[in-house]
Amino acid sequence: MQPRQPRLLNDEQMRQFITQGYLILQTDFSEAFHRTLVEQLNAVYEKEGNPGNNLLPRIREMQQVFDHPTVTGALTSVLGEHYMLHAHRHGHHNASPKAGGWHKDSYWGYRKIRNHHPWWAMIMYFPQDTPVELGPTGVFPGTQNYESRVFEQEENAEEALASGKAGTFALIHYDIWHRSTPNVLGQHRYMLKFEFMRTEAPTAPSWDNQTPEWQAPTALNTPIAQHADMWRETWNWLSGKVGSLADTAAADAGRVAELAEALASDDEPAALNAAYGLARYGAAGVEALLSGLNQGAGRVVSRAGYGLAAAGAAAVPGLSAALASEREETVAHAVFALGELRELASPALAKVAALMEHPAPSVRHAVVEALSMIGVPADTATGGLIRALQDEDVQTRFMAGLSLARLGSAAGAAVPQLCRALDDDNRYVRAHAAEALHYIATPEAKDALIEYLLAARWCPTTTPESTFYP
């Protein structure tokens, strides 16, 4: 069947996603489709338990959901045309009359420096009619870039609920604060969570873009705070511009001093505004951010890293120098910022790659990601990632596969090591190695991938009740 044209998001929807961190959308499958889907889910969960990461091959109809033009259009708009459906997926069954706790998701049980830019997104799909009483997922608008929980109450009037007819789904920034809400009806409620990753940095808008310049959405729903500089920078980044805040504010030593002080504020939204504000003030702003990176305590370091990631080419020399710091957190966030600066940071790539020998896993995690984001020279990046595939730390190994997928055909030299990674003990090392072979797509990579997938073939109709016939 010929795939249908994706229904791309429009400018207003993208503005809403950038500011509030989510959109509630709807597919148009028939009632019969969703009824069959729920019947299958009931049978699998009752007889076999939660299929976990095998949800998609176990319930084959789910692939139709992710081929739906509203879904492909939303994901293309936010993550680019060649986004990856990640190997971790989970069907959440909620029958509890009590609300779940507010949280940000980990990365399938692991931790890393979180991206403000949309490198990751999630879809939470509801296959049954989900009124408020059935316990839809709740999200707190505008909280996607807050490390801490900045609201105190469990119940908030501003909470947005993914309630609606069967086929309703929430497209969320990966890091938004969310929870399950009470299911007071006592009926089955499924939320099917799938994760997606951007494999290419944006070079132009991938949504239905009509207005090039940033403007706030007509319906602005961010009850905690407004972040004009961060939002504008994200819009520009999605439009293919790197370091777009650099030198956009006139010199003002007094204002730079105020922002530098605010970087250490206990008010996280204010501190984030300070970080992005400093990115606008050229050399003086970069100097203040580098001071926070090199000498700051606690979250000042990470906030400075986000600001430097938006400060353009002027930040690269100082970030490169920070790679020699004895402070683990300084090095990790310097590497992170260089990665976000992409090709502007190419002069530092060799120094970044050399940090694959750093003793701290957190630094190596940042290095693996940055190598693919900087990307050039490709042979240096690929060499570092081949080394990462052999690392003793499992997270370093599985992040290497994702990064090689981003490099695509330029990473052809990694194919032999990726083939060895297909036998790794860790499920995500194996899965990401397979994805990397898919995106590298050389004849050698394709042959290896097909051989691996044939051996791993899943039969969705083989169950304990039907092991081989009919």
Mean pLDDT, residues 74-99: 96
Q: Under 8 Å CB-to-CB from 326, ≥6 apart: which residues?
A: none
User: Quick one: tokens of 154?
Assistant: 């469990």
Asked if residue 29 is part of any domain, the answer here is yes
Query: Quick one: 314 and 462 in the same domain?
Result: no
pLDDT digits (tens, 9 = 90+) for 314-346: 999 999 999 999 999 999 999 999 999 999 999
User: Quick one: tokens of 468?
Assistant: 């081989």
- The band of 108, judged by pLDDT with boundaries at 50, 70 and 90, is confident
Asked if residue 223 is part of any domain, the answer here is no
Q: Tell me which residue of 344, 358, 294 sits closest to 321, measured CA to CA.
A: 294
How far is Cα 90 from Cα 191, in angstroms, rounded to an integer?
Answer: 8
**In this predicted structure, what is the pLDDT of residue 230?**
99
3-state secondary structure of 92: strand
Last residue of a domain, one of 345, 368, 391: 345
How far is Cα 249 from Cα 228, in angstroms, rounded to an integer?
Answer: 14
Mean pLDDT across the chain, nearest whole number? 97
Residue 203, classified by CB atoms within 10 Å of its CB into exposed (0-12), middle (13-18) or buried (19+), is exposed
Asked if residue 83 is part of any domain, the answer here is yes
Dihedral pair phi/psi, residue 84, rounded to 5°: -105, 135
Query: Quick one: 179 and 253 in the same domain?
Result: no
How far is Cα 195 from Cα 249, in angstroms, rounded to an integer?
Answer: 37
3-state secondary structure of 83: coil
- The band of 7, judged by pLDDT with boundaries at 50, 70 and 90, is very high
Asked if residue 339 is part of any domain, the answer here is yes
Give the type of residue at 126: F
Residue 211, classified by CB atoms within 10 Å of its CB into exposed (0-12), middle (13-18) or buried (19+), is exposed
Query: Quick one: 60 and 162 in the same domain?
Result: yes
The CATH number given to whatever domain includes residue 190 is 2.60.120.620
The CATH number given to whatever domain includes residue 305 is 1.25.10.10
Query: Quick one: 39 and 180 in the same domain?
Result: yes
Residues facing 121 on adjacent strands? 173, 196
Give the type of residue at 300: V
pLDDT exceeds cutoff 70 at 1: no
Query: Quick one: 40 and 185 in the same domain?
Result: yes
pLDDT digits (tens, 9 = 90+) for 224-249: 999 999 999 999 999 999 999 999 99
The sign one gets for the Cα dihedral 202, 385, 317, 357 is positive
Output the CA angle 328-333-335, nearest 5 degrees.
100
Query: Quick one: 116 and 165 in the same domain?
Result: yes
pTM, two decimals, is: 0.96
Q: Mind giving me the DSSP string for 204-268?
A: S--SB----S----SS---SS---HHHHHHHHHHHTT-SSTTTT-S---HHHHHHHHHHTT-S-H
How far is Cα 139 from Cα 63, in angstroms, rounded to an integer?
Answer: 25
Question: Could you tell me the CA-to-CA distances from 268 to 18, 110, 143, 146, 151 in Å, in that order?
Answer: 18, 23, 11, 7, 11
pLDDT digits (tens, 9 = 90+) for 184-201: 999 999 999 999 999 999
Query: Quick one: 320 and 397 in the same domain?
Result: no
Asked if residue 280 is part of any domain, the answer here is yes
How far is Cα 438 from Cα 405, in angstroms, rounded to an integer?
Answer: 8
The CATH number given to whatever domain includes residue 428 is 1.25.10
Q: Tell me which residue of 96, 183, 164 sits closest to 126, measured CA to CA.
A: 164
Asked if residue 352 is part of any domain, the answer here is no
pLDDT digits (tens, 9 = 90+) for 128-146: 999 999 999 999 999 999 9
442: left (phi over 0), alpha (psi -120 to 50) or beta: beta
The sign one gets for the Cα dihedral 134, 136, 140, 141 is negative
User: Quick one: tokens of 143?
Assistant: 């909280």
- pLDDT > 70 fraction of the chain, expressed in percent and rounded: 100
Residue entry with tokens 């950038």: 18
- The total number of structural domains in the chain stands at 3
- pLDDT > 90 fraction of the chain, expressed in percent and rounded: 95
Q: Are 237 and 341 a contacting pair, CB within 8 Å?
A: no
Helical ranges in 389-456 per DSSP H: 394-407, 415-421, 427-440, 443-455
**In this predicted structure, what is the pLDDT of residue 339?**
99
pLDDT digits (tens, 9 = 90+) for 144-156: 999 999 999 999 9
Query: Quick one: 323 and 433 in the same domain?
Result: no
Query: Quick one: 17 and 104 in the same domain?
Result: yes
Give the type of residue at 405: A
Last residue of a domain, one of 197, 229, 263: 197
Query: Quick one: 341 and 390 in the same domain?
Result: no
Dihedral pair phi/psi, residue 164, rounded to 5°: 160, -170
Asked if residue 6 is part of any domain, the answer here is no
State the Rg of the chain over Cα: 23
Asked if residue 214 is part of any domain, the answer here is no
- The band of 2, judged by pLDDT with boundaries at 50, 70 and 90, is low
Query: Quick one: 39 and 91 in the same domain?
Result: yes
**Structural domain boundaries enclosing 333:** 242-345
How far is Cα 47 from Cα 39, in angstroms, rounded to an integer?
Answer: 12
Query: Quick one: 166 and 272 in the same domain?
Result: no
The CA-based diameter of the chain, rounded to the nearest angstrom, is: 78
